[in-house]
Structure 1
Amino acid sequence: MCPLPLTSWKPPMKKLRISNAALLALVLSTSVGCDQVTKIVAREHLEGVGRLSYLGDTFRLVLIENHGAFLGMGSEMPAGLRTAIFVGVVSLALIAFLVWIMRTPGLSKFSVVAAGLVIGGGIGNVIDRVLFEGGVTDFLNLGIGTLRTGIFNVADVWIMLGAAMMLVSRDTWAPDKAEGSEEDGPPESRDDAERALQT
C-alpha cells in the first residue's frame, strides 16, 4: 500500500474566535483612546485660532467647552446639579449598561460593538467633565450654509453610531438565549457533557 504523499496532508485550521468580553474591551479602549487623542490635538492646535473651514465650509473646526449635554442642553443649570447629572447619573447608567451587556447571553458581535461604541463615547465625555470642571471639548461642525449641526466631538459620533447600530440589530432587545454564551460552548457540547454526567 502506497503511503499518501506528504503534500496531501494539511494541518487542521482553527477558526479564530474572540469572546464578547475581549471584543467589548477592544472597542472601549479604541473608542475612548481615539476620542481623547482628538480632543488633545484640538485643544493644542485650535485654541485661540477661531473657526477653520474646509470643503466649501461644509466641514468646520471650532473649539468650544460645552458645559451642557448634546447641543448645550442643560448648560444653564447650577454647576453642582450639572456635575451630579452629567458625571454621577451618567456614570451609573454607563456602568449599568456595561453590566447588562456582560451578563446577557446570546448577543451578536454586532450588538457588542454597538454597545461598546455607546459606552466608550459616554466614558470619553465623562473623562472631560472630570478633568475640565464639568466641560466637554467639542470642535466638529458639519452643514451647508445656515443648515448645520451643533458643535460635537468624536465621542458624540461613537454614541450616535452605536445607537443607530443597536436600533437595527435584531438581538439587542431580544438576544437568542437558546444559543447560550460563548463561555457555555455550543449546545452539542453541553448535551454531551450532561449525558456523561448522567452515566
Structure 2
Amino acid sequence: MKKIIIIISTLFMLIGCDRATKIQAVEHLKGSDGVESYLGGILKLTYHENSGAFLSLGANLPDNVRFTIFNVLTGVFLFFGLLYIFIKPISKPNLIVALLVIGGGLGNFYDRVFNSGLVVDFLLVSIGPLRTGVFNVADIAIMFGLFSFMFLETKWGQQLTKRLWRQ
C-alpha cells in the first residue's frame, strides 16, 4: 500500500508541475516574439511547440509515423512501465528513477494527446555560445531520471545506494 501511495503521489506531483508550467507558458509566452531572460541571460523563457521528441528529433517524419511513434508506442511503453513498477519488487532508488522517467513521459504524452501531437517547450539555457534546445519540466524529469539510472548502475552509484538506503 505504501508503494502505491508513493507512486501515485509522485506521478501526481510531477505531472502537476509540468502541466502548471506549460499552462503558464501558453498564457504568458505564446504569441510573444520576445524572449524573457533570467540569471544574467543564462535562463531564457521562449514559447515553442515541438512535434518531435528530444531536440525535435523526428519532427520531420510524416504525420502517421510521428503519431505511431510518439503516441501509440510511447503510450504502450508508459503503460507497461507503470504496470512493471506497480507489480514488480523494485528498490527505492530505482523506483524513484523510474517514476521520474515515467512521470516526465506522461507529462509530454498528455500534451501530445490533447495538443494535436505537439509538446509545449519553453525553457532554454544559454551560457556564452553554448545553448540547449528548448525544453520543459517533463524533459528535465526524464533526463534526470535517465542520468540517475546510469549513475546507479556504476560502482560508485551502487556503493552510494547501499550507504544511503542501507540495502
TM-score w.r.t. the length of structure 1 is 0.73
Q: Distance between the aligned counterparts of 1:95 and 1:163, measured in 2? A: 18
Give 1:92's match in structure 2, choosing from 54, 69, 76: 76
Q: Distance between the aligned counterparts of 2:43 and 2:79, measured in 1? A: 34
Shift of 1:123: 0.6
Identity %: 43
- Which residue identity does 1:128 align to in structure 2? D
Give 2:117's match in structure 1, choosing from 128, 134, 139: 134
**Structure 1, residues 101-159: CA drift from partner, whole Å, max 9, x if none?**
22222x22222121111111001101111111111000001121220111000000010
**Structure 1, residues 57-93: CA drift from partner, whole Å, max 9, x if none?**
1110000000011000101111121111101000101
- Which residue identity does 1:66 align to in structure 2? N
Asked whether the equivalents of residues 23 and 112 of structure 1 are also in contact (C-alpha less than 8 Å), the reply is no
Asked whether the equivalents of residues 20 and 109 of structure 1 are also in contact (C-alpha less than 8 Å), the reply is no
Give 1:76's match in structure 2, choosing from 60, 67, 83: 60
Q: Distance between the aligned counterparts of 1:120 and 1:20, measured in 2? A: 15
State the SS of the aligned residue for 1:152. coil
User: What does 1:15-34 correspond to in 2, within 5 Å?
Assistant: 19-34=2-17
Deviates more, 1:20-29 or 1:38-47: 20-29
The structure that is helix-richer by fraction is: 2
RMSD: 1.3
- Which residue identity does 2:130 align to in structure 1? L
User: What does 1:47-62 correspond to in 2, within 5 Å?
Assistant: 47-49=30-32, 50-62=34-46
Shift of 1:98: 1.4
Asked whether the equivalents of residues 114 and 163 of structure 1 are also in contact (C-alpha less than 8 Å), the reply is yes
Deviates more, 1:161-170 or 1:37-46: 161-170
State yes or no: 1:65 paired with 2:58.
no
Residue-pair matches, total: 152
Q: Structure 2 stretches of 5 or more lacking a match?
A: 154-167
Q: Structure 1 stretches of 5 or more lacking a match?
A: 1-17, 171-199
TM-score w.r.t. the length of structure 2 is 0.86
Asked whether the equivalents of residues 52 and 62 of structure 1 are also in contact (C-alpha less than 8 Å), the reply is yes
Q: Which residue of 1 aligns with 2:136?
A: 153
Q: Distance between the aligned counterparts of 2:20 and 2:77, measured in 1? A: 24
State the SS of the aligned residue for 1:162. helix
Q: Which residue of 1 aligns with 2:146?
A: 163
Q: Distance between the aligned counterparts of 1:167 and 1:24, measured in 2? A: 21
Q: Distance between the aligned counterparts of 1:112 and 1:60, measured in 2? A: 32
User: What does 1:27-42 correspond to in 2, within 5 Å?
Assistant: 27-42=10-25
Q: Distance between the aligned counterparts of 1:111 and 1:27, measured in 2? A: 14
